[in-house]
Amino acid sequence: MRKVLSTSTAPHGHWVGDGFPVRSLFSHMNGDNENTPFLMLDYGGPHEFSPAAKPRGVDVHPHKGFETVTIVYQGEVEHGDSTGRGGVIREGDVQWMTAGEGILHKEYHSQDFTKKGGTFEMVQLWVNLDAKNKSAAPGYQSITDAQIPAIDLPDDIGRLRVIAGEFDGVKGPAQTFTPMDVWDLRLNAGKTVTLNPVEGYNVVIVTLSGNVTVNAETDLSGPSNAHLSREGGAVVIEGSSDAKLLILAGEPIDEPVAAYGPFVMNTDAEIQTAISDFRSGRFGQL
């Protein structure tokens, strides 16, 4: 079995705009890139919002050099960007946005959720792009719950949705620049699942809620995560309660990471160019 190299939790959260109370479970901004190709994961909620007259969220802001993946568990997010794409991300839906050479976007609660209020819960994952694809054209994949294959695991173990990559011969709908698997897993209490990520992939087990044991040695209570070795075979996860997890496995991008706020490049000089491009309007208009 793969070795658990490190674990982390996020006991304290912060607000992104006025609509997203998040906890950063891991982040490239702390100076390491151990989870490559995954840069950062923010877990938002669960949080109760009262009805409001004006949508809460984050106004126009830039990104460059990576991708954002938004998974909505409860509530609704409305997105718009400088390519003219956008829409509402509803419960179970996923938005996979490629910032590439530069994009402007905004994220708010949807009009319907704003009026009704309710429980809000989501994840935003940042996925790095390798050097040759940091200048890719901005893109937008709107993936509905109905488009995501869901596999009922045998013996009432639980249920797994294949967002990206492949599981047991079933392929997910997300298109990625480098090989990776993103699996949304519900594990039932008292059950054990054995997963077999590709050898050489980085593996991150993200426990959003519930309590699990990884490889019979490491206990995780949500929200928390474990970073595993690139080699070593299987990952065995036992649920001591019902648990909600994300399984992230990807081919490492072993390149330098230079980061400044919403920009992720390979060098400081490229960061300065990104700032200049944004200020000069090269990311478009929104």
Sign (positive or negative) of CA dihedral 215, 221, 222, 228: negative
- pLDDT, tens digit, for every residue of 73-111? 999 999 999 999 989 999 999 999 999 999 999 999 999
Query: Cβ(120)–Cβ(46) under 8 Å?
Result: yes
Rounded Cα gap, residues 162 and 151, in angstroms: 8
Rounded Cα gap, residues 57 and 19, in angstroms: 4
- pLDDT, tens digit, for every residue of 17-50? 999 999 999 999 887 899 999 999 999 999 999 9
Nearest-CA neighbor of 7 among 202, 219, 180? 219
Instruction: Assign residue 60 a region (left: φ > 0; alpha: ψ between -120 and 50; beta: otherwise).
Output: beta
Query: Cβ(83)–Cβ(138) under 8 Å?
Result: yes
The pLDDT of residue 12: 85
SS3 75: coil
The secondary structure of 202-232 as a DSSP string is: EEEEEEEESEEEETTTEEEESSEEEEE-SSS
The pLDDT of residue 31: 79
How far, in Å, are 57, 112, 154 from residue 137 at the CA level? 26, 32, 41
SS3 98: strand
Type of residue at 204 = V
The pLDDT of residue 10: 83
Average pLDDT per 10 consecutive residues for the chain, totaling 286 residues: 94 93 93 93 96 97 98 97 94 97 97 98 98 96 98 98 98 98 98 98 98 97 96 97 98 96 97 97 93
For residue 99 the two structure tokens come to 């910032």
